Amino acid sequence: MGKLYGLIGHPIGHSMSPVMHNGEFKELGLSHHYHAFDLSPEQLEDGVDAMKMLDIQGFNVTIPHKVAIIPLLDEVEQEAIDIGAVNTVYKRDGKYIGTNTDGSGYLLSLLTLIGEKNLSGKKILVIGAGGAARAVAVSVSQSEVASLTIANRTLEKAEELSKLCQHYSVANAITLSEAETSLGQFDIVINTTSIGMSPHLDRMPISLEHIRSGTVVSDLIYNPLETKWMKLAKSKGAVTDNGISMFVEQGALAFEKWTGVSPDRKRMRNTVLKELGGY
Ligand code: ATR
C-alpha cells in the first residue's frame, strides 16, 4: 500500500511541493501520496499529533513552523540544529526525526552550477541574514570556502550569523553599502532576501556597479524566474541561476530520505517550471 507524505505551513496554497512530489511518485510507479496541510501556529501541536496518528512517513515544514516544530519532534539532526530550523521530517524506527535539506540542497545546486566538488578557494558573499541566509551560509561555510562574507541591512544580524559560520570557515559581516563597493572581490554572490520578488519587480538587493565579469550570481527567488537584478548581472558577464535549483534539490534530498529512492531532478525541475508557467 502507498504511504502518506505531506507538507505543513501557513499559508500553503501556492506551494509547488505537492505537484513536484506527487508527479515523481507517479513517474517512479510508487503509490504514495503527498498532501499539503494548512496549519496555523495555534493548530501546530494538535496538527503534528494528528499526523503521527495517521502514521505519516515524512513531511516538509515551511513558514511559519520551521523553528516551532523542533520541540515537537523525537530527534533533530545536527545540520538542522546548526541552521536552527527544520524543513524535513522523516520517520525511522517509530521516531519522527527533523533535518534540514535547504542548506545542503542549496550547496549541491551551486556545486552543480559551477561544476565543482566543493567551494575550495572561493570568496562568497551572502546578502541577507534571515532564515534562508542561515541555511545557505551554514552549509556553504562547510565547503572549504576561502571566505564567507554576510551583508545585511541590519548589521547585528549579519554579525550573529557570521559568528556561527566561524566554526567552519573564515567569516565576517559587512553593511549592504560595503558589499556594493567591495563587490569585485567576490567569486560567488548569493541573494537570500526577497528583494526583487513579485510584485516588487523593480527592486534590487544591492547595486552591481563593481561586479567582475565571470562572477557567479545566485538569487534564491524564482518568482519571477529571472529578477531584474539577475538580468543586470547577466548583462555584466555574470553566470546566473535562480531559486528553482535549490527548491528542486531540497525536495529531492527529502524524497531520498523518505523513500530511499533517488528521484529524477531534471524531471522534477520541469514539473515545477510547468507549474510556474501556469501562474
Ligand atoms: P527568510 O526566512 O525568507 O530569509 P526573513 O527571515 O524575514 O526571511 O529574512 C529576510 C531578510 O531579507 C533579512 O536579512 C532582511 O534584512 P533585515 O535583517 O535587516 O530585516 C532582508 N530584507 C528584507 N527586506 C529588505 C529590504 N527592503 N531591504 C534590505 N533588506 C531586506
Using alpha carbons, select from 118, 99, 122, 100 the residue that is nearest to residue 108.
118
Q: Which atom of ligand 1 is nearest to the CA of 154?
A: 19
DSSP state of 90: E
CA angle 185, 176, 234 (to 5 degrees): 55
Instruction: Give the single-character DSSP code of 212.
Output: P
As for ligand 1, residues whose beta carbon falls within 6 Å of it are: 128-133, 152-154, 157, 192-195
Q: What is the dihedral of CA 248, 252, 253, 258, to 10 degrees?
A: 140
**Helices (H) then strands (E): counts for the chain:** 10, 12
The residue to mutate among 152, 202, 203, 220, having the most atoms of ligand 1 within 8 angstroms of its beta carbon, is 152
Q: What is the pLDDT of residue 278?
A: 56
Indicate whether 130 and 200 sit together in one domain. Answer: yes
128 CA to middle of ligand 1, Å?
A: 6
Distance 31 CA to ligand 1 centre (A): 40
Most ligand 1 atoms within 8 A of CB, residue of 83, 86, 194, 206 to mutate: 194
Residue with CA closest to ligand 1 atom 5 = 130
Provide the pLDDT for residue 1: 81
Distant-in-sequence, close-in-space partners of 161: CB < 8 Å, separation ≥ 6: 129, 133, 134, 137, 150, 152, 173
Could you tell me if 112 and 222 lie in one domain? yes
Q: Are residues 27 and 47 in the same domain?
A: yes
Number of domains in the chain: 2
DSSP symbols for 15-30: -SHHHHHHHHHHHTT-
Residue 59, phi then psi, degrees to nearest 5: -155, 155
Check which CATH number belongs to the domain holding 55 and give it.
3.40.50.10860
CA of 27 from ligand 1 middle (Å) equals 38
d(CA 66, CA 155): 24
Q: Rounded to 5 degrees, what are φ and ψ at 36?
A: -90, 125
Q: Are 254 and 183 within one domain?
A: no
List 88's β-bridge partners, or say none: 60, 99
How many whole angstroms from 50 Cα to the centroid of ligand 1?
Answer: 33
Candidate list 26, 66, 91, 274, residue with the active-site label: 66
pLDDT at 161: 97
Taking the CA atoms of the chain, what radius of gyration do you get in angstroms?
A: 19
Asked if the peptide bond before residue 11 counts as cis, ω within 30 degrees of 0, the response is yes
235 & 116 share domain: yes
Of the CA atoms within 13 Å of residue 135, those in its CB half-sphere come to 26
- Give me 14's grid cell: 501556492
53 and 96 co-located in one domain: yes
In a shared domain, residues 73 and 118: no
227 and 253 housed in the same domain: no
If asked whether residues 92 and 181 sit together in one domain, one would say: no
Closest protein CA for atom 14 of ligand 1 = 128
| Residue ranges making up the domain that contains 230 | 103-242
The pLDDT value given to residue 14: 87
Residues 86 and 168 in one domain: no
Do 166 and 204 belong together in one domain? Answer: yes
Residues 108 and 214 reside in one and the same domain: yes
> Could you confirm whether 123 is annotated as catalytic?
no
CA distance 64 to 43: 12
In what helix (H) or strand (E) does residue 188 lie, and over which residues does it extend?
strand 188-191
CA pair distance 122, 120, nearest whole angstrom: 6
What does the DSSP assignment read for 155-170? HHHHHHHHHHHTTTS-
CATH number of the domain to which 224 belongs: 3.40.50.720
Of 238, 269, 270, residue with least CA distance to 105: 269
**Sign of the four-CA dihedral 25, 221, 116, 159:** negative
How many residues are listed for the chain in this entry? 279
Per residue of the chain (279 residues), give pLDDT as tens: 899 999 999 999 889 999 999 999 999 999 999 999 999 999 999 999 999 999 999 999 999 999 999 999 999 999 999 999 999 999 999 999 999 999 999 999 999 999 999 999 999 999 999 999 999 999 999 999 999 999 999 999 999 999 999 999 999 999 999 999 999 999 999 999 999 999 999 999 999 999 999 999 999 999 999 999 999 999 999 999 999 999 999 999 999 999 999 999 999 999 999 998 854
Question: At 214, is the secondary structure helix, strand, or coil?
Answer: coil
Nearest CA owner, ligand 1 atom 22: 193
| Helix H or strand E segment including 134 | helix 131-140
Ligand 1, atom 18, residue with closest C-alpha? 154
